[in-house]
Structure 1
Amino acid sequence: MPEPHDLPRIDPAALPEPVDVSDTSVALAAVAAVVAAGPYEATWESLRGYTPPRWYEDAKFGVFLHWGVYSVPAFRNEWYSRDMYRAGTPEFEHHVATYGPQSEFGYKDFIPSFTMEHFDPQDWATLFRRAGAQFVVPVAEHHDGFAMYDTDRSRWSAARMGPERDVFGDLLQAVDDAFMVRGASSHRAEHWFFMNGGARFDSDVLDPRFIDFYGPAQREETAPNERHLEDWLLRTVEVIDKYRPQVLWFDWWIEQPAFEPWLRTLAAYYYNRAAEWGREVVINYKWQAFADGSAVYDIERGAMGDIPPVVWQNDTSVSKSAWCWIEGHDYKTARDLVAELVDVVAKNGVLLLNVGPKPDGTIAEPEQRLLEGIGRWLTANGEAIYGTRPWRVFGEGPTHVQAGSFVDGAAPAYTSEDVRFTTRHDVTGEYVYAVLLADPADGVARIRSFGSGTNLLGRPIRSVEVLGADGEPQWTQTATALEVVVPTGTDPDSGPVVKVWLRPEERQERTDSLHG
């Protein structure tokens, strides 16, 4: 890439013509017709009839992608487009020192350097399959307002500028070809205010030639007006209809009261469209944006304290410092990520794990290695994850995991006493899995919840197995624990996984009398 002062800039004369989206009446009428056709109505009462699909509950693990123009400056995080216009921030000072005044080199001027010339969607999909992902959720549009998909509602898209390719659509096709489920995330709601710092001093945000990119740039204290809400709805509908994602993920700002009726309309539209397609779909939301039971609750960089009655999702990143590609990431380890996955699944959750591609279309080597590390663990131990359900308790052990959002900054120092449980039922019987989050120093796994005195297993043990090890290990069940001799040091990313096969329940045979 050229030196910062040599980066090419947007040539206003060479831009595509602006798209006229002022008349929304026909598009809104089409949305209303789909809603009216059912089966879902745009009411919370009706939307609470939604049930999360089995494929999603079984999937357990998906890959998230934050890719966009913000990966060109690659400084601090994906909010560069906001903070470069906010005086006093590190981004503001960095921008002026590196690229010059915002009136001469604005955020739009990074677009020509966002080329993705090495983007290979099949390679990405192959990597995600090796990681064990069952679904893939690329960002369709982030807060910066640059669409990664081929939109008819804006000229500011990857299909018309930068790579001049529908990279979003190409990736989803590769995801389909690899038999994973396609998804999409929308961060458009926040664009209402996102660039407003640039309206407070001399910057290109005030240039009327670029209002269709930087606007609305309104005050964050104000509720979005109907124009913005209509545009948000119709852009989301466009993604639904053009790309048919089966996961639709929303970021945080949609919980503003002004969005409430539009959310109901959007959910009814999406669920009704899915019924037409014969597909089962998921909406992910944060905070209280949707009514309980109408979609799937998502916690950003978070954890649950116990097992909720319905499936939920944790969206997090391989990096502690940012979601997009930046220089100098503070990466988690594969061990951190495996423990996070196991903790989420044991608590009836699904993990959506983010990576941030570079502006040339490659995924950084450290992020590839982390995905492949998870994939290796899942190859050996995936039967304790995929298709499982929570057991009677999620786990045991001395290490406290903080519940709530944004709690993944410091990974817990797990011990061999920290265990997470899952269970599955199939035609061969009932199994309970115990994932030790560290190797026992003496080579003996002691699982207290499996002791005969707890009665949590409910039935006698038929056999015990350690996943990835040959033969049945030595094991003893006492009143206080199940003790299993396990191999240690074989997996750098986790402790051993113990599989317990329970005896079937006793059945009373009924003999019909032949005497009349």
Structure 2
Amino acid sequence: MCEILGLHLRNPGLYSRLGELLTGMLCEMEDRGAHSAGVAVYGDQQWSPPGRGSVSRLEVPAGPEEAAATIGALPAEVRTSCPPGPEYAGYVDAHWRELIERYQPDILWNDMGYPGDPAELIRDYYTDVPEGIVNDRFWSGAYDVATPNIARRHEVDARPWEVGRPIGFSFGWNRQEGPEHCLTGTQLVHLLLDVVSKNGNLLVGVAPDDRGRIPMLQQRPLRELGRWLDVHGEAVYGTRPWKTAESTTQDGLQVRFTTTPDALYAHLLGPATGDIVITDLRLPVEAQVVDLASGEPVPTADGQKGTVFSLPAAADPVARVLRITPLP
């Protein structure tokens, strides 16, 4: 399903006219391919939130100051993410509890807050599902996984976390986005390495367009990431952070680290060549260093500020990876 229309029928009398109202639209959508259209209709009181107002489109200026002023000028009931009051809070709580009681999900993954204090709900969930996992987007109460949007860490975080980052600025498809708004393949590789080196997961947001296709603007960085991982995947998949989160070379090139039980991977975020020193990284004399892409051994020597790596001339322009064994 790549096109789904949700209808909330406030007038039950319209049920008998659904075919008349939707046939033309569904035929046009179906022309785009088999199973390309769907309709979800809800109108009964059980699944309709009490007090829910109409939905309208808000045009927000691009600049952060103008956008903040526009949103700040809205009435409080528009700015808040859900209707206030105990009636709506009870409605939401009942839905969560029905989900937990019927299906006992392994993961309770919320977004954008909770109308009230979720502490009791989360406590009851852990009672029913002792090994369950809760994210931090209830905005209060216990949680297992932090899920910041776009933000990054500067140190290794021992607690599980996952950063969400769309390819562009929008978490949904935005026809106004151009190349200047989107991550390049190089930026996406660097973002992945930065996140995994600090014990995080990267959730990349990909937005199909109005015909259910992934725009080339988003495909390009994803394919570049895939090509890089085809060569360097062993330095990412199944790895863990090292004791040091990040470093730089003597020339200021950013460096990230990942490990396996028997190796350290140094990720040079750029096309490093020649003699380099990674700040504060000093290897024992028995260490073996290999350029991961070429498989060539990398000569090393002891320097004043750390081990000197003599890198081959050819280098991946995105990120060069050195495999160091044994794990220092």
**TM-score using structure 1 length:** 0.46
Q: Deviations over 1:452-495 (max 9, x none)?
A: 5xxxxxx5543111112123222324352233233466434x22
User: Contact 2:113 / 2:139 at 8 angstroms: preserved in 1?
Assistant: no
User: Contact 1:460 / 1:502 at 8 angstroms: preserved in 2?
Assistant: no
1:250 to 110, 126, 131: 110
For the residues of structure 1 that align with 2:34 and 2:107, how far apart are their CA atoms?
Answer: 23
For the residues of structure 1 that align with 2:215 and 2:91, how far apart are their CA atoms?
Answer: 34
2:326 to 477, 480, 502: 502
Where 2:172 maps in the other structure, the secondary structure is coil
1:353 to 204, 228, 235: 204
- Unaligned 5+ runs, structure 2: 1-6, 17-24, 58-75
1:253 is aligned with what amino acid?
G
For the residues of structure 1 that align with 2:285 and 2:307, how far apart are their CA atoms?
Answer: 12
Structure 1 equivalent of residue 122 of structure 2: 264
Where 1:335 maps in the other structure, the secondary structure is helix
User: Contact 1:355 / 1:367 at 8 angstroms: preserved in 2?
Assistant: yes
Structure 2 equivalent of residue 466 of structure 1: 291
Structure 1 equivalent of residue 61 of structure 2: none
Residue 449 (str. 1) matches residue 274 (str. 2): no
1:344 to 1:488, Cα distance in 2 relative to 1, 3 A:
farther
1:462 is aligned with what amino acid?
A
Structure 2 equivalent of residue 364 of structure 1: 215
Residue 338 (str. 1) matches residue 210 (str. 2): no
User: How far is the alpha carbon of 1:351 from its aligned partner?
Assistant: 0.9
Structure 1 equivalent of residue 88 of structure 2: 228
2:267 to 431, 435, 455: 435
For the residues of structure 2 that align with 1:419 and 1:120, how far apart are their CA atoms?
Answer: 47
1:283 to 1:10, Cα distance in 2 relative to 1, 3 A:
closer
User: How far is the alpha carbon of 1:299 from its aligned partner?
Assistant: 1.0
What's the % identity of the aligned pairs?
23
User: How far is the alpha carbon of 1:296 from its aligned partner?
Assistant: 0.4
1:444 to 1:150, Cα distance in 2 relative to 1, 3 A:
farther
Q: Deviations over 1:354-377 (max 9, x none)?
A: 011123221112212222211122
1:231 to 1:380, Cα distance in 2 relative to 1, 3 A:
farther
Where 1:482 maps in the other structure, the secondary structure is strand
Q: Deviations over 1:237-280 (max 9, x none)?
A: 666789987554322323x6x142464257437x61xx6xxxx6
Where 1:375 maps in the other structure, the secondary structure is helix
Structure 1 equivalent of residue 144 of structure 2: 295
User: Contact 2:167 / 2:218 at 8 angstroms: preserved in 1?
Assistant: yes
User: How far is the alpha carbon of 1:382 from its aligned partner?
Assistant: 1.9
Structure 2 equivalent of residue 177 of structure 1: none
2:122 is aligned with what amino acid?
R
CA RMSD of aligned residues (A): 4.3
User: Contact 1:334 / 1:370 at 8 angstroms: preserved in 2?
Assistant: yes
Structure 1 equivalent of residue 260 of structure 2: 424
User: Contact 1:252 / 1:285 at 8 angstroms: preserved in 2?
Assistant: no
User: How far is the alpha carbon of 1:233 from its aligned partner?
Assistant: 3.9
For the residues of structure 2 that align with 1:328 and 1:436, how far apart are their CA atoms?
Answer: 34
Residue 304 (str. 1) matches residue 162 (str. 2): no
1:438 is aligned with what amino acid?
G
For the residues of structure 1 that align with 2:294 and 2:35, how far apart are their CA atoms?
Answer: 37
User: Contact 1:486 / 1:496 at 8 angstroms: preserved in 2?
Assistant: no
User: Contact 1:192 / 1:220 at 8 angstroms: preserved in 2?
Assistant: no
After TM superposition, list the pairs within 5 Å mapping 1:43-442 onto structure 2.
Answer: 115=29, 117-118=32-33, 154=42, 218=77, 220=79, 224-236=84-96, 248-254=108-114, 258-261=116-119, 263-264=121-122, 267-268=125-126, 272=129, 282-286=133-137, 288-291=139-142, 294-319=143-168, 321-329=169-177, 330-397=181-248, 417-425=253-261, 430-440=262-272, 442=273
Q: Deviations over 1:402-434 (max 9, x none)?
A: xxxxxxxxxxxxx76210111221xxxx21111
2:309 is aligned with what amino acid?
V
For the residues of structure 1 that align with 2:232 and 2:157, how far apart are their CA atoms?
Answer: 24
User: Contact 1:423 / 1:433 at 8 angstroms: preserved in 2?
Assistant: yes
For the residues of structure 2 that align with 1:113 and 1:327, how far apart are their CA atoms?
Answer: 24
User: Contact 1:467 / 1:497 at 8 angstroms: preserved in 2?
Assistant: yes
For the residues of structure 2 that align with 1:360 and 1:192, how far apart are their CA atoms?
Answer: 33
1:359 is aligned with what amino acid?
D
User: Contact 2:266 / 2:321 at 8 angstroms: preserved in 1?
Assistant: yes
User: How far is the alpha carbon of 1:352 from its aligned partner?
Assistant: 0.8
1:384 is aligned with what amino acid?
A
Structure 2 equivalent of residue 514 of structure 1: none
User: How far is the alpha carbon of 1:16 from its aligned partner?
Assistant: 4.5
User: Contact 1:233 / 1:262 at 8 angstroms: preserved in 2?
Assistant: no
1:264 to 1:449, Cα distance in 2 relative to 1, 3 A:
same
Structure 2 equivalent of residue 86 of structure 1: none
Q: Deviations over 1:190-222 (max 9, x none)?
A: x98885779xxxxxxxxxxxxxxxxxx956568
User: Contact 2:100 / 2:125 at 8 angstroms: preserved in 1?
Assistant: no
Instruction: Give the paired residue count.
Output: 286
